[in-house]
Structure formats: C-alpha cells, structure tokens
Structure 1
C-alpha cells in the first residue's frame, strides 16, 4: 500500500494500540478486511486459518501498510490444535483483548440431499469451531484480563432454504453468543455477534455457477439496492470491539441492507442512492459479480 491506500477507517487512530486481537479465518474475505482495519488502528492482529500461505500474504499486506500481524495456522475444529494455538498466541503476545470468530464455510444443499458427513462438517465449521476458540481464549486469557468477542454469523432469520446446515449452526452461534455474554460478564468480557447479509466478498467465488447466478439475481431483493462491502461488516465488528460499545453485550448487529424486512407485501423499489462505504483499498469485486 502507498500513503493514499491506507485503510479508511471511521474510527480514531490508535484506538487499539497495545492490544492483541485474534481474527479467525483472517486469510481471505471479510476476515482479511477486519484484520487490516484493526491493524490500521494499532492492534497487533493474530490471524488464523488452515492455509499458512494465505495468512502470510495478508501478514505481508498489513506490514506494507505499517501494521503488525502474526500468523497462526490451525484448524478451529481440532480441539488439541485450538488449545495449543491459543497458548502459543498468549505466550507470544500476552493477554488477548479481542476475538473475532470469523472462520466458517458452507455449501448449498437441500435438506433431503444433505449427508450426515456434510451436516457435521458445516456445524463443526460454523458452530463447534467458534465454541472451541471462544472457550480457550476465555479460559486462557480473558477470564483474568477482560476482553471482547465478536462472532460472525449470517442472515439466517426465518430459515435458510438450501443452507439448513449453515442456518442451524449460525442460529446456534447466536444463542451461544447470548449465553456467553451472561456467563462471562462477571469477568468483564463482552460477547456480541454481527450478522452479514449478502456481502460482495471472495466467498461468492467458492460457490458453483448455479449458486453464483442466484447471487447475482438476489441484488434485486435488497431494499438498499446493492450488495454490502467487506468494510461495512468490519466497521460493525470494530465498533463492538471498541470502548464505545462498553455496555453492549449479548447483542447482534445486522449488516444486511434491510433484506430480512423485505416482506411479500412489499415490492422493492430500485435505487442507487445507498452509497457503499469502501474503506478497504485492497477490496476487489468477486468474479461471480463481474
């Protein structure tokens, strides 16, 4: 990045100076963007994922922009690996101030076509992994030092046809968010969720052509008339991690352009007035939307 390509955060410079924040799934998409914004605000960002080369690429981007990030490759579904990785992060950086449970993934399937293996894989990706990382960061660090956790879920309100496994996992993650917010409040730990809607990120390109075609069609169903940006999700996460959200816990912030409020009684009116927030200079339009 050059000086003109710095992350354009709306938050105060050095907001997270001296703090360590863990971002799971930080090697691509929304996680990559969140890692960049937090690093631009002074945080030391520990990015995790299964593919070291992706993490190292994001680490290099953050370093080029003047920030600090470290790489921690492990599988969030593997309990011993999670325990060891969190221990290594605490040993390297000291207390962990923030956690963004962003890692996850799913694929389209009707319920009747879902195998048990596929069901289990998606629940472990989107629910079990978040539980393991949260538990370990709480017990190994936040229980004695306070902190803030933000769980990335999804627009799963009213069901997720063709994504039942993901919808069930995300709903479970919301309930886990609400439970942990209560149980861990005595340690000064806040736990919230962010639910992105249809966000133009690299995740779109992981789907097959039929699903990509459906994603392109869905733009017409968004009341604000456009897809969201990665930076708009990151801004919500950053706020919830910040001191400005000191009395917010057990809540969920939707970042979805009012899609869940679009009822069958309402015909969406085309609009181009909802200007996107494009704070992340390295963001690119997914191939699926070109």
Structure 2
C-alpha cells in the first residue's frame, strides 16, 4: 500500500477490515471523513444523489492506496435507503460504521420560508437521517452491533436565518440520545457531532455578502479566534467511531472552538427597544431603582419611557 495522502492523528490500520458508509460523502465534511477512514484501513462507501462528486472522492482515495466505493441514494426515499444498505451488506458482508452527513438547507429569514420549504429541510435532515439509521440497524447492526455518528450543527442558541435546519438538527440530536438508550442492547453506539462554522465547500451555498461577513470579522468571534476545518470535524467523528470512545454513547460532541458558548450574532440586533420592558412598580423611576447602581437606574427610566410598536 502506498503512503496515504491523508495524515490522520490516529494509528494506521485502526479500522482495517471495517466497512464504513458515509452519506453525503462526495463533498465537504463527508468527503474528509471518507478520506480519513480510508487512510486508517476502512473499506469506505460514499453515498449521495449525484454520482460525479462521489466518483471524484473515490478516485482520490483509491489513487492513494485506499479502498472506496460509490453508491447512489436519495435519503428522503425509504426504498432507496433500503437498497443502499442491502447493497453494502451484499457486497462487503458487513456494515460496521455509519456516518450520517447528508443534508441540506438554504439561507432565509424565518418569515420567508414556506411550509413546503420547511418540510423539505426537515424531511432531508431529520427524517432522512432516521431512515438511514433505521435501515442500517434492521439490516445489519441489530444482530452485529456497530457505531453511528450523526452530523448535526451548532443549533444550541437557535439558528437565525436557518430556522428549518436548526429544528431538524435539534431533532436529530434528540433522536440520537433516544436511540442510544433503545439500541445499546444491540451493541450499537450512536453519537452526534455538532460542527460550528467550518471552512468547507458548503460555504459556496452562502451568498457573497454572508461570505464577506464571515471572513471579515465573524470568524474571530469565538474563544478560539478562528473558524474550524473539515479535518477537525473528521477527527471528532473518527474518535467517536473508534474503540477509544467505547463508553461514549448518546453524546453530542461540539466541534466549534467554543463558539456555542460565546460568539457574535449572525444577524444584527436592534439598537432601539422593540419589545417593551415590564417593570412592575408604578413609579419605576424611583421604586425600581432600589439597591441598583445609578447607571442601571437610568436604563430602567429609559425602558419605562420607551415607546415601542409592540402591542404586548
């Protein structure tokens, strides 16, 4: 075997003889995970709807001595997913590792998202992930065990401009915790990884003004002072799939540089006060200031005097 192009931090042949399925494996984070697992000896199957990026990933891996194969799938279609899992098991005789990375969304203020658009993203990201998990469990892992990692997102403080995917990713994370409890008896471990803002091909989906906002200043607005890389997400996925994480089940590993704890808002908040404050005291300028530093008392007075458009 030639020297692998991908330089993993994990030991060589960690997954030798294992079969790994990565949905959405032709681009971005999924492609990176496929490269790393192949570099560690796994037989990798990359699956998605479009053949061209899958074939490109397969060529990249095989040209560097790895084993990679392509399967087409529409994760929104149950029959397509069942066929995918059946093909993998028939070809390789097993399915040890599953990474649910396939998904999609679009950027939009919540009020502009139609019911149909909202439903489509939930069906793809949440129902699609469930469909693949269920098929893998029923067709192989229920009898033989396995490890699953679901890719979610940094939805923990809401997801402005992508309410649909925030709802879907939260659903997947909760589903992961539920399946951990129900499927542990089958020898199945299932965890999720929540990437923050990652430098990836997915950035092409954002319009130029958003790209400029991210690269112009937002990229430093977290404790690590930068954006993340595909390889950093992949390392987390690989660790969760590995024997080293044998006692990790139902967890959500945040790979976000601490951004979910402290970060800039993706959308600007108003400088005025659109939502009227409730102060309680009839004489807010005096009673409401008891034991409060003067500067904050001034704020209370401003809140009491503020006229807003809110009817609440």
Deviations 1:98-132 (A, max 9, x none): 10000111111111111012101111221111000
Higher-RCO chain (CA-CA 8 Å, sequence separation at least 6): 1
For the 8 Å contact 2:222–2:263, the answer to whether it is kept is no
Give the match for residue 152 of structure 1. 151
Give the match for residue 190 of structure 1. 189
Separation of aligned partners in 2, 1:158 and 1:222: 14
The CA deviation at 1:5 is 6.6
Secondary structure in structure 2 of the residue aligned to 1:184: helix
Deviations 1:3-36 (A, max 9, x none): 6772111111100000101000000000000000
Q: Does 1:102 align with 2:101?
A: yes
For the 8 Å contact 2:3–2:64, the answer to whether it is kept is no
Q: Cα RMSD over matched residues?
A: 1.4
For the 8 Å contact 2:26–2:47, the answer to whether it is kept is yes
Deviations 1:227-275 (A, max 9, x none): 11100000000000000011110001100010111168xxxxxxxxxxx
The CA deviation at 1:220 is 2.6
Deviations 1:40-81 (A, max 9, x none): 000001100111111111000000110001100111111111
CA gap 1:113/1:215 in 2 versus in 1, 3 angstroms: same
Pairs within 5 Å for 1:111-190: 111-190=110-189
For the 8 Å contact 1:108–1:211, the answer to whether it is kept is no
Q: Does 1:84 align with 2:70?
A: no
Give the match for residue 258 of structure 2. 258
Secondary structure in structure 2 of the residue aligned to 1:195: strand
| TM-score (norm: length of structure 2) | 0.82
Give the match for residue 7 of structure 1. 6
Separation of aligned partners in 1, 2:23 and 2:141: 17
For the 8 Å contact 1:23–1:47, the answer to whether it is kept is yes
User: How many pairs does the alignment contain?
Assistant: 263
The CA deviation at 1:82 is 0.6
Bigger CA radius of gyration: 2
The CA deviation at 1:211 is 2.4
Gaps (5+ residues) in structure 2? Answer: 265-312
Separation of aligned partners in 1, 2:136 and 2:213: 38
Give the match for residue 37 of structure 2. 38
Secondary structure in structure 2 of the residue aligned to 1:141: helix
For the 8 Å contact 2:32–2:231, the answer to whether it is kept is yes
The CA deviation at 1:213 is 2.4
Q: Does 1:228 align with 2:210?
A: no
Give the match for residue 269 of structure 2. none
Secondary structure in structure 2 of the residue aligned to 1:261: coil
For the 8 Å contact 1:17–1:41, the answer to whether it is kept is yes
Separation of aligned partners in 1, 2:259 and 2:116: 31
